[in-house]
Amino acid sequence: MDIVDLARLQFALTAGAHFLFVALTLGLATLVAVVQTRATLSGDPVHLRMTRFWGQLYIINYAMGIVTGLVMEFQLGLSWSGLTEYAGDVFGSALAIETLVAFFVESTFLGLWIFGWNKLNRWAHLALIWVVTLTAYASAFWIMVANGFLQNPVGHVLEGGRLRLTDFGAMVANPAAQVAFWHVLFGAMIVGGFFMAGVSAYHLSRRTPEQDLFRKSLRIGIGVALPALLLTATFGGIGFESLQPAKAAAWVNDAERLAAAQAEMVARFGPGDYLPPVGAVQAGGITMLTLFAVMLFVAAPSFLLMLVRPVVRGFRVWHWLLTLMIPVPFVTMLAGWVFREMGRQPWAVYGLLTTSDAMSPVTEGQMVFSLTAFVTVFAVLIAVNYWLLARQARRGPGAVALGDRPVDAPVPAPSF
Measured N-to-C along each axis, helices 81-99 and 122-151 cross at an angle, to the nearest 10 degrees, of: 160
pLDDT tens-digit series, residues 92-125 = 888 888 887 777 888 899 999 999 988 889 999 9
The Cβ-side half-sphere exposure at 75, using a 13 Å CA radius, reads: 30
**From its phi and psi, is residue 165 left (phi > 0), alpha (psi between -120 and 50) or beta?**
beta
Q: What is the mean pLDDT of residues 31-51?
A: 93
Closest CA relative to residue 223, chosen from 7, 68, 31: 31
Q: Pairing state of beta strands 156-159 and 162-165?
A: antiparallel
Considering the chain, what percentage of its residues have pLDDT values greater than 90? 44
H or E segment to which residue 348 belongs: strand 347-349
User: Is pLDDT above 80 for 179?
Assistant: yes
| CB-based contact 132:29 (threshold 8 Å) | yes
Q: For the whole prediction, is pTM greater than 0.75?
A: yes
**Taking all residues of the chain, what is their mean pLDDT, rounded to a whole number?**
88
Phi, then psi, of 161 in degrees rounded to 5: 80, 10
pLDDT tens-digit series, residues 353-393 = 998 888 888 888 888 888 888 888 888 888 888 899 999 99
User: Is pLDDT above 80 for 73?
Assistant: no
Interatomic CA distance for residues 92 and 11, integer angstroms: 17
pLDDT band at 401 (very low <50, low <70, confident <90, very high): confident
Closest CA relative to residue 193, chosen from 322, 50, 314: 322
DSSP label at 354? E
Return the bridge partners of 165, or none.
Answer: 156
pLDDT band at 192 (very low <50, low <70, confident <90, very high): very high
The pLDDT assigned to 66 comes to: 80
| CB burial readout 209-228, b (16+ within 10 A) else e | ebeebbbbbbbbbbbbbbeb
Taking the alpha carbons of 199, 338, 63, 40 in that order, is the dihedral positive or negative? negative
Q: What is the mean pLDDT of residues 183-198?
A: 95
The pLDDT assigned to 361 comes to: 85
User: Is pLDDT above 90 for 314?
Assistant: no
Residue 285: helix, strand or coil by DSSP? helix
Phi, then psi, of 352 in degrees rounded to 5: -125, -40
- DSSP characters for 111-180? HHHHHTTTTS-HHHHHHHHHHHHHHHHHHHHHHHHHHHHHHS--SEEEETTEEEE--HHHHHT-HHHHHH
The pLDDT assigned to 67 comes to: 78
Q: What is the mean pLDDT of residues 197-218?
A: 93
pLDDT tens-digit series, residues 246-284 = 888 998 888 998 999 889 889 888 888 888 889 989 999
Q: What is the mean pLDDT of residues 24-37?
A: 94
Interatomic CA distance for residues 292 and 318, integer angstroms: 19
pLDDT tens-digit series, residues 164-175 = 989 989 999 999
| CB-based contact 88:73 (threshold 8 Å) | no
The pLDDT assigned to 112 comes to: 93
Interatomic CA distance for residues 330 and 20, integer angstroms: 6
The pLDDT assigned to 70 comes to: 77
pLDDT band at 416 (very low <50, low <70, confident <90, very high): low
CA angle 328, 402, 138 (to 5 degrees): 55
Closest CA relative to residue 233, chosen from 187, 281, 298: 187
pLDDT band at 406 (very low <50, low <70, confident <90, very high): low
- Which amino acid, one-letter code, is at 398? G
